C-alpha cells in the first residue's frame, strides 16, 4: 500500500472512533419506501453489512454486490455484503465476518475492521443494519453465493464525492410495485446505481471522506 493510502486508512479509522455525522448525513441520500418511525421497534431484527475497502490501481476502492433477483424487498439491488445476525454469531462483527465469507468468499478477520458507521433502521424489512468499515489487503478471489449474489462491483471511493455521479431517479420498489419514488442515487458505470439504505450508509461515509480530504483533516 502506498504511503498516502496508508495515512488515509489510519485517519479514517481514527475518525470512525469519534462522534459520527449520523442520521443527518444518511438523510442526504434518503430514498425511503416507508417513513422511519420515531424510534426503532423493540422487535426489530439485527443485521450487519461490510463497507469493504481495498487498494486498486493506486486508489481506494469499495466493494458492492448485486443481489440476486429473488422477489425479496431488496431483490436485484446493489448493496454491501452482509445479512441477518444468527444465534451462532457471537456479535454483530461476527455476523459481518460470516456473511462476507458466505456471500463473496472473502475471509476477513477482526483486525481488518477500521470501525463502524451509524446503524440504520429499514422499516420495510424491520432490520436495524449495523454497517462496519473494513480494509482488505489480500488477493480478492471472489466465490459468490449463487442464491444471494448475482455479481460484484468494484467502485473507486473517490466516485462518491464527485457530484457528477449523483442524480435523482424514478424507482418502482419491488416490494411496492404500484409506488413510484423520485430518489437520490449514486450512479455507477454501465447504468447501475445505488439507492435506498445502501445509499444512505454510503452518504455518511462520503461525509467522513470529505472531512478527511480537507487540508486540515476536517
Q: Which of 40-49, 117-126, 168-177 has the lowest mean pLDDT?
A: 168-177
**What average pLDDT score do residues 12-24 get?**
97
Q: What is the pLDDT of residue 73?
A: 53
Q: Tell me the pLDDT of the chain averaged across its residues.
A: 91
Query: Could you give the CA distance from residue 166 to residue 169 in angstroms, rounded to a whole number?
Result: 10
* pLDDT above 90: residue 130: yes
Residue-wise pLDDT tens digits, 146-156: 888 999 999 99
Percent of the chain with pLDDT over 70: 95
CATH number at residue 203: 3.90.79.10
Q: Which residues of 64-94 are buried (b: 16+ CB within 10 A; e: fewer)?
A: bbbbbeeeeebeebbbbbbbebeeebeebbe
**What average pLDDT score do residues 128-133 get?**
98
Query: What pTM was estimated for this model as a whole?
Result: 0.92
Asked if residue 74 belongs to a domain, the reply is yes
Residue-wise pLDDT tens digits, 31-87: 888 888 889 999 999 999 999 999 998 889 999 999 876 555 555 789 999 999 999
Grid coordinates given for 158: 473517490
Percent of the chain with pLDDT over 90: 70
Asked if residue 89 belongs to a domain, the reply is yes
| Distance spanning both ends of the chain, measured CA to CA | 23
Count of domains in the chain? 1
Grid coordinates given for 127: 432490520
Strand bridging mode 45-56 / 127-135: parallel
Asked if residue 120 belongs to a domain, the reply is yes
Domain of 77? Answer: 3-34+44-213
Asked if residue 218 belongs to a domain, the reply is no
Asked if residue 203 belongs to a domain, the reply is yes
Asked if residue 63 belongs to a domain, the reply is yes
Helix or strand run (H / E) with residue 114: strand 113-116
Which of residues 132 and 57 earns the better pLDDT score? 132
Query: Could you give the CA distance from residue 211 to residue 200 in angstroms, rounded to a whole number?
Result: 17
Asked if residue 39 belongs to a domain, the reply is no
Query: Could you give the CA distance from residue 121 to residue 130 in angstroms, rounded to a whole number?
Result: 9
Confidence of residue 118 (pLDDT cuts 50, 70, 90): very high
Asked if residue 126 belongs to a domain, the reply is yes
**What average pLDDT score do residues 174-186 get?**
88
Amino acid at each position: 500500500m502506498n504511503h498516502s493510502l496508508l495515512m488515509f486508512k489510519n485517519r479514517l479509522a481514527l475518525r470512525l472512533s469519534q462522534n459520527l455525522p449520523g442520521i443527518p448525513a444518511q438523510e442526504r441520500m434518503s430514498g425511503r419506501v416507508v417513513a422511519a418511525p420515531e424510534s426503532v421497534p423493540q422487535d426489530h431484527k439485527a443485521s450487519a453489512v461490510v463497507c469493504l475497502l481495498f487498494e486498486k490501481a493506486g486508489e481506494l476502492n469499495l466493494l458492492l454486490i448485486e443481489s440476486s433477483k429473488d422477489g425479496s424487498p431488496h431483490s436485484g439491488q446493489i448493496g454491501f455484503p452482509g445479512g441477518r445476525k444468527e444465534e451462532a454469531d457471537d456479535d454483530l462483527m461476527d455476523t459481518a465476518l460470516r456473511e462476507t465469507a458466505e456471500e463473496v468468499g472473502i475471509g476477513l478477520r477482526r483486525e481488518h475492521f477500521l470501525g463502524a458507521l451509524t446503524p440504520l433502521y429499514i422499516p420495510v424489512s424491520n432490520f436495524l443494519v449495523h454497517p462496519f468499515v473494513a480494509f482488505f489487503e489480500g488477493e480478492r478471489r471472489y466465490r459468490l453465493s449463487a442464491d444471494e449474489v448475482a455479481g460484484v462491483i468494484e467502485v473507486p471511493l473517490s466516485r462518491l464525492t464527485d457530484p457528477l455521479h449523483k442524480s435523482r431517479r424514478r424507482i418502482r420498489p419491488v416490494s411496492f410495485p404500484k409506488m413510484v419514488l423520485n430518489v437520490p442515487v449514486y450512479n455507477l458505470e454501465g447504468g447501475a446505481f445505488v439507492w435506498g439504505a445502501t445509499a444512505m450508509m454510503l452518504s455518511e461515509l462520503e461525509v467522513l471522506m470529505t472531512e478527511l480530504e480537507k487540508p486540515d483533516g476536517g
